[in-house]
Every structure is written in C-alpha cells, then in structure tokens.
Structure 1
Amino acid sequence: VQRIEGLTNWLIVAIDERLAAYCKEKGINHYYRPVVIPDSQKDTGSNHAISAMKYEIIREFLQLGWDVLLSDVDIATLQNPFDHLYRDSDVEGMTDGFDPPTAYGEIYGIDDATMGWSRYAQGTRHMAFNSGLFFIRANDKTIDLLTRIADRLAKESDWDQSVWNEFIFFLSHGDYKSPQVRLAPQFMNTKVLFKQVRHMPKDQQPKPVMHSNYHPDKPERIRAIIDYYLKGDEHALESFPGGS
C-alpha cells in the first residue's frame, strides 16, 4: 500500500502490541485494537482464528459510518483500489472463481431418474465469495451481516469464509431472514493470474489488486507480481507454474 503514490486513506488495525509498536516505529497509519480469541476458535489454527475476529473490528468502523476495504496479508496492491470500485453494491469483493461460470454463476442440470418425466431440473451455482479481500459499505444491512457472522464465530468453530458465504447467499426460509446484501465481484485471485492473465498482452491485463490465495508459495509469488507490474521485470512470473 505504501508504494502507491497519492494513496492516503488507508489504515492498519493492529491487533497485538508487537504490530502496533512496528507501525509506530515506521510511521504507518494504524489503530491499536487488541482482540481476544474466543474459546470456539482457539483450536481452528492461528490464521483462521485471527481471521474470525475481523468481522467484529470491521463492524465497529461501519457503525461509525465508514466504508471499509479489507485486505488480507497475502494481497498485492498495485493501483489505488478505490479508483476501481463501482460503489453501487453493499459488498464488492473477490470470488474464488477462475472463469465466468465459476466466478459469476451458471445454470446447471440435475437429473433424478426416479422422477420420471420431471427427472430434469435446474440449479444455480458459483464459487465462494472470498472473505480475504472485499470493500463493504456502511449501512444497516452490512452491519446486520457482520453482527450475525461475529456472533456465530464467537460460539462455533466454523471457518469464517464458510459462514461469510452462508449469510450472504442463503435464501430466507422459516425463521431465517437473509441480510439481502447486494454483491459485485471484483479483483483477481492468483489462479486466474497465473493460468490466464499473465499470458495476455500486458496492456490488457487488469491489475489493481491481486490475492495470492491459490498457491502455498505466497511470499515468492507476491514479490514476483510486484517485480513484474511495478518494477518492470518482464520475466518475474515465468518461473512459476499455473498450478502449485
């Protein structure tokens, strides 16, 4: 983020004293907000446990009327992301999809031979909406969404991304009422980058923000992405396969 000229409206939320001290030493915009991992998340792995805490923190900003761009640590920010937002939806974020059907949705067929003439039916599906990179606007619906997620994760050991998708996409039924947030898919994951986009002409490659979520060698790929797009090293991505 600090590499982007003219970008000043960003803030790091430091959730422990060590990070707060580092930010203070380096003159980094930060807000010290310590968190306590609830018992429900203590055995889920450190990264999932910490990730589960972000909804409570983000909700505090939304309650102040501030829109929030959340970015995990495995994100390469190459251009000012605020210049690429539509701002017409409650949440704009990245999907784990890697082509139009998986990213934006598709109609698929279901075949149940026991139903005779009505054996064929249709359904809809798409890949998950990633909980590690999204822009969320401050309103009653998004505050309700994050309140539900934070409450669930404080009581149960579910993966936060699964809960995020459940509350966003599940339809109202019985006593359950959907928060009914509006979504817009944005940004890019590294499966799309390394399998498709890097082979396109460079002037046609969309590149404001990239999430290194599909590959285990995250630091190396993020450095290579920065070298390729910001430092002009045309060969920086060549050593990496499309897969892992």
Structure 2
Amino acid sequence: MAGRRDRIQQHRGYRITIAIVVGILIGCVCAFVFPNGFFNSGSSLLVNERLSKSNSKVGLASCESSERVKMLKSEFSVVSVKNAELKKQVKELTEKVRLAEQETENARNQVLVLGSQIKAGPFGTVKSLRTNPTVVPDESVNPRLAKLLEKVAVSKEIIVVLANSNVKPMLEVQITSVKRVGIQNYLIVALDDSIVDFCKSKEVAYYKRDPDKAVDMVGKSGGNHAVSRLKFRVLREFLQLGYGVLLSDVDIVFLQNPFGHLYRDSDVESMSDGHDNNTAYGFNHVFDDPSMGWSRSAHTMRIWVFNSGFFYLRPTLPSIDLLDRVADTISKTGEWDQAVFNEQLFYPSHPGYTGLHASKRVMDMYEFMNSKVLFKTVRKNEELKKLKPVIVHLNYHPDKLERMQAVVEFYVDGKQDALDSFPDGSF
C-alpha cells in the first residue's frame, strides 16, 4: 500500500512539472505573437475615440470662449469709459468739497479771530486787524511740488521766478546775484527744456510743470508780458501748499536777502512804481472843475501802482482770490497784467461788484528800488548813493541787461561811475 501511495504522489509531481513547462512555453509563444498585449489595439481605438470626442468638445468650447471673450472685452471697454467719466466727476466733486471745507475752516478761524466780542481800549490804543489766517496746507494739490518745496523753501517761504529761453542772459545775472547774497530758497519755474538744462548747469533749483497747453505755448515763444501774465496761474499751487511766495521777474538784481526786510502783516506786500514819497505811498490830489464855481475843487486820493513784477503773497484766501481774479480777467480781456493786478487790489465794492478784501502794504521804495528811482534820483544824490538797496528792478527801461550789469558794477564792484553813461529814460 505504501509503495502504491509513493508512486501516485510521484506521478502527480510529474504532471505538475509538465503543466508548468507547458504554461511557460505558451507564455513565450504569446509574448512573441502579441508583443503589445492582447487588448492594446482595442484600447488604442477606445482612447483615440475618447480623445477625438474630447477635442471636438474643446474646439466647440474654444469657439464659444473666444466669442465670449470678445463680448466681455467690448463690455469692459464701455465700462472703462463710463468709469473714467465717473472718476473725473468724482474728482471734480471732491475738489469742490475740499475747497468748501477749506473755506469753512478758514471762516471758522476768522470767527475765532474776529468773532470774540472785546471792549475798545482807551483813545489811541485801538488797532484794527489786518492779518488774515493762512490756509490749511493741502499737499494733494501737487505732491511733486510739495516734496520739492520741502527741500528748497526756508521757513515756509520761497522766491519764485518764471523764465524761458528768451531771458537767459538776464537770468544768469540774477542767479549770480542770488548766489552772491547767499539766498537758498530760490526756485526757477522752467518754461522750456533749455532753461531746465541751464538751471542744471548753474546748480539752481528748478521746477518744470506738468504738460499744459497754455504753459507750453508761453515756454516756446512767449515774451516778457506773456510770461508775466502766466505767473498768476502758476503761483496758486504754491499758496495752496501753504508757502509764502516772493514773486520776482528776471530783470531784478538781488543785493541783500529780501526776507529780512518783509513785514508779513498783510496779504500782499509789493514794491511800487512810484518815484517819491507821494507817488509811492499815496497823496491827496485836487481835481479842479471851474464849472462848479464854489465847489470847483474835488479832492481825490492817488497812489502809483503796485509793481506786479516783485511782490510777496502770504498763503491766505484773499491772496488766492486775487490770483484767481487776475488770471480770469486776463484770460477774458487780454489786458496788461499789472493794470489788472492793481484794479483788483484797489477797486472798492460798489453796486454790481464785490471788491477784494485783501490787506496791502507798500515796500520801502529805497530798499526795493525801481529803475526810475535809481536813474532819476539816487545816482544824482551823494547821500542816497550811499544806501544799498535790497533789490533793483530794471522795470522802467528796455536796455535791461546792460543796466543790470551796471547795477552790479556800481553796488558790488564799487565802480562809482558805472551808472553815469545811461540816460534817465529811454529814447
């Protein structure tokens, strides 16, 4: 029995071994006949079919997306235009609100200054108020200019000069005089690129405004009067930023630092075109009308005009109001800026017109000297020749450069006959 069992187990082992060998042979034959597997071709067809369907769907989606994108772009363009218009309107409204708030704040300050009830003092002790409060500085008006003024201004004050290439020789004389005196807070508003390069070469602070058609036109071809008219628009931003501005034309020689000679008690402090005490500071003029008989003599008050080429403005509402009025009138009428400047300063309120409520001061005519005073009076008087003015303004004469150079020779170089060769006037 045991032998029989052994033979059966041995026989089973052979059968298993033969089955394994046959399986291996079949596997080798299949691997040779079907190298890519039994289901590869079918799978490839299935995959390709799915990819084809997918691509067709993507193509349709792509076309739909393209049309959608075009439509969205068109809608976005329309919305952008409307948004820009709304932004502009919001900006304008914001500016109006800001100005209204500023006016309200300044009115509140005025009330604080003027509104408190006080008793009048004894005879001879009462003094009226004439110094208006300054505006609240608003750097949002011009951030770039604000940063520049922080570097250049001294005690929140600045000398401002407008210049283009037409006045370069005179500007060079002025810059030299400014450096000689040691004035630091001096800024040139460059109206063209040539003046920018000139300022760089002279190491002088300058400011080039953002593109502006009116400014650009003056910068390229404007003469003295055109540049002079422009300054009333340019100075507004300086005052809004809270800076006191000393405006100077280029035909001026600086012999001392002017900031040590200002009173700063008025909105406007200006040099005069007057040539003596009466014309510079005011006088009573009698107008004679014989047809009136007993009342033939009519008394009038007279003063020669403030010079619009050299004046100091405190940053107050009346000062800004003055600039706005002058700029607006000039733009409409084209009148001479100095005439308009004085009309706005001195015309009182009357029916149909509200005058400018600005306080005024006339500068000392021998310190802030015009060229008529110099050539008609000072150079012929031995005592007056000893005085050293703060500035000399060659406003009365067309041969400005030659007379500016002579002023330097006389007051700086000590050449006593430097002024003698020039006539009193211009012929």
Q: So what's the TM-score if we normalise by structure 1?
A: 0.91
Say whether the 8 Å CA contact 2:181–2:255 is kept in structure 1: no
TM-aligned CA deviation for residue 24 of structure 1? 2.3
Matched with 2:403 is 221
Q: Are 1:124 and 2:330 an aligned pair?
A: no
Say whether the 8 Å CA contact 1:93–1:129 is kept in structure 2: yes
Match of 2:189 among 10, 13, 20: 13
Q: Are 1:26 and 2:202 an aligned pair?
A: yes
TM-aligned CA deviation for residue 221 of structure 1? 0.7
Q: Are 1:197 and 2:378 an aligned pair?
A: yes
Match of 1:86 among 239, 263, 272: 263
Match of 1:207 among 370, 389, 400: 389
- Whichever residue aligns with residue 216 of structure 1, its letter is P
Quick check: 27-36 or 102-111, which moved more? 27-36
Matched with 1:46 is 223
- Whichever residue aligns with residue 141 of structure 1, its letter is P
1:100-115 pair list within 5 angstroms? 100-115=277-292
Q: So what's the TM-score if we normalise by structure 2?
A: 0.53
| Unmatched tracts of structure 2, length 5 or more | 1-176
Q: Matches of 2:290 and 2:421 in 1, distance apart?
A: 49
Match of 2:417 among 223, 235, 238: 235
Say whether the 8 Å CA contact 2:255–2:388 is kept in structure 1: no
TM-aligned CA deviation for residue 203 of structure 1? 7.0
Match of 1:152, SS state, is: helix
Q: Are 1:161 and 2:338 an aligned pair?
A: yes
Matched with 1:62 is 239
Match of 1:59, SS state, is: helix
Say whether the 8 Å CA contact 1:16–1:35 is kept in structure 2: no
Match of 1:122, SS state, is: strand
Q: Matches of 1:94 and 1:5 in 2, distance apart?
A: 20
Change (3 A) 1:55 1:134: same
Which structure has more relative contact order (CA 8 Å, sep 6+)? It is 1
Q: Matches of 1:32 and 1:49 in 2, distance apart?
A: 17
Q: 4+ residue runs of structure 1 moved beyond 3 angstroms?
A: 34-38
Structure index of larger Rg: 2
* Greater strand share, structure number: 1
TM-aligned CA deviation for residue 92 of structure 1? 1.5
Q: Deviations over 1:18-75 (max 9, x none)?
A: 212221233211111255339xx9xxx7322221110011111011111111111110
Change (3 A) 1:76 1:15: same
Q: Matches of 1:3 and 1:116 in 2, distance apart?
A: 61
Q: Matches of 1:216 and 1:154 in 2, distance apart?
A: 26
Change (3 A) 1:103 1:21: same
TM-aligned CA deviation for residue 86 of structure 1? 1.3
Match of 1:146 among 298, 323, 340: 323
Q: Matches of 2:335 and 2:213 in 1, distance apart?
A: 17
Q: Matches of 2:333 and 2:213 in 1, distance apart?
A: 15
* Greater helix share, structure number: 2
Quick check: 107-116 or 150-159, which moved more? 107-116
Match of 1:143, SS state, is: helix
Say whether the 8 Å CA contact 1:4–1:80 is kept in structure 2: no
TM-aligned CA deviation for residue 89 of structure 1? 1.6
| Unmatched tracts of structure 1, length 5 or more | none
Q: Matches of 2:290 and 2:181 in 1, distance apart?
A: 61
Quick check: 142-151 or 195-204, which moved more? 195-204
Percent of paired sites with the same residue: 49
Q: How many residues align?
A: 239
